[in-house]
Amino acid sequence: MTKATSPEPEPDPTPTAPPRRGAQVPATSANMGPGFDSFGVALNVFNELRVERLPEGRGLEVRVRGEGAGSLPEDSSNMVAASALEGFLAAGGTPGPCGGLPDVRLTCVNNIPPARGLGSSSAALVSGLGAGLVLAGENLSDPGTKHRLLQMATATEGHPDNVAPAIYGGMQVAIEGGGQWISQRIACPAAVQAVLFIPDFQSLTAETRAELPTTVPIADAVHNISRAAMLVNCFATGRLEALRYACEDRLHQPIRGKIFPLELRDMIDTALAHGAHGCWISGAGPTILALTGGHGGDVDGDSVATFEAVAVSEAMQRLAREAGLEGRVLISEPTPDGVRSVDGMGRVLDIPRSIGPQNSPVVENAGLQPGLGSDGYA
């Protein structure tokens, strides 16, 4: 059992090298039970994309560190690289000699396990598109750039439940209206923790989505609408006593739960019996998220919240082992941070400026200028 951490910075290759620039993007848990294709929450597990300008003629270099190293491609077919090119061209960037990105090295430092229902593909998509926009001269922290990023990422992903919290942070509710995607933040209760049981096997969203029905009974639709409304109220008010019921779903979890060698209901009931407020399949699975804490105060200083998180994690692991399901547990928490600019030491370059329409800080770039700086770094 471990607690979530941010990527450790790698030293620059030479003592005189200017600091690398890049972006951090959080893991996300989509659907949250009844909010299929609409609800999502950002978690404090971050992937980091480092962008380094190379000498002319070097072309594109892609490196993968951490999760996915050795299995994810290290060329232009990598989702981060392909998305960076898309963002770069969409923002009017001048392509390199071969029609691709200018001479850059993209280093992906991954903490989000791939194909586990924690938004790894959305993190790759958002970080790549964001890097491309910045390379072409846009400011990643500008509200207009983030709105554009939401439209582009959702067009590629097909649904906004992961990309919205990856961009804006916190809990997001996203819908389509007036020919555009709109996302708004819902307050997260103070000091809640997300206990993640992450099975060792992978689950591909496209495969699990293909199993879902195209129509549902009206009773199931009403069930989910009422639970989704109650879930939003539980989060917004901090009154979590009804969350165990508000997380219930009839549209996708009964089908996606069949990938487990145990009854999903048993895992959920076990988490609830040991102190969790609510529990759901994260995204398309196979990760299962149990929400604990929420008693107020700081998470790290709340011994009750820590005790509950540990008790829930141990109970989930015990049930999984009895069913022959191998996996690991990570204790995370919701983060208000979406995609953000960082320097080579992992320090955040964005600073709060004012309160914007997201009910969250609108930030401006404190040290990273749009485009390629005079130091040769993006």
- The domain that holds 63 is classified in CATH as 3.30.230.10
CA distance 345 to 12: 9
CA distance 199 to 196: 9
Tell me, yes or no, whether 371 lies in a domain. no
Least confident segment among 71-85, 198-212, 327-341: 198-212
| Residue 102 predicted with pLDDT over 90 | no
Looking at the structure, tell me whether residues 270 and 163 fall in a common domain.
no
Asked if residue 68 belongs to a domain, the reply is yes
On whether the CB atoms of residues 235 and 294 are closer than 8 A, the answer is no
DSSP conformation letters of 274-332: TT-SEEEE-TTSS-EEEEEE-SSS-TTT-HHHHHHHHHHHHHHHHHHHHTT--EEEEEE
Work out the number of other CB atoms within 10 angstroms of the CB of residue 257. 19
Domain total of the chain: 2
Residue 205 falls within a domain, yes or no? yes
CA 122 from centre of chain: 7
Say if residue 135 is in the same domain as residue 61: yes
Q: Mean pLDDT, to the nearest integer, of 114-142?
A: 93
169 plus 49 within the same structural domain: yes
Q: What is the DSSP string of 148-170?
A: HHHHHHHHHHSSSTTHHHHHH-S
Domain residues for 200? 192-332
Q: What tens digit of pLDDT does each residue of 220-269 get?
A: 999 999 999 999 999 999 999 999 999 999 999 888 888 777 788 899 99
pLDDT higher at 329 or 14: 329
174 and 46 assigned to the same domain? yes
- What is the CATH number for 218? 3.30.70.890
3-state DSSP of 187-231 = CCCCCEEEEEEEECCCCCHHHHHHCCCCCCCHHHHHHHHHHHHHH
Quote the CA–CA distance of 31 and 29 in Å, as a whole number.
7
206 domain residue, yes or no:
yes
pLDDT of residue 14: 41
pLDDT in tens, 178-204: 999 999 999 999 889 999 999 988 777
Stated pTM of the model: 0.85
Burial class (CB in 10 A: 0-12, 13-18, 19+), 241: exposed
For residues 70 and 209, membership in a common domain is answered with: no
Tell me: do 179 and 220 sit in the same domain: no
Mean pLDDT, rounded, for 120-149: 93
Which secondary structure element, helix H or strand E, spans residue 269, and what is its range? helix 264-273
In a domain, 370, yes or no: no
Distances (CA, A) of 157 to 9, 152, 153, 348: 29, 9, 6, 27
Q: Give dist(CA 253, CA 268) in Å, integer.
A: 11
Place of tokens 């893991």: 27
Q: Is residue 47 in a domain?
A: yes
**In whole angstroms, what is the distance from residue 86 CA to residue 125 CA?**
10
Question: Between 146 and 345, whose confidence is greater?
Answer: 146
Residues 237, 169 within the same domain: no
pLDDT of residue 131: 92
pLDDT at 378: 32
- Are residues 347 and 212 part of one domain? no
The whole-number average pLDDT for the span 3-32 is: 68
Residue 313, number of CB atoms within 10 A of its CB: 24
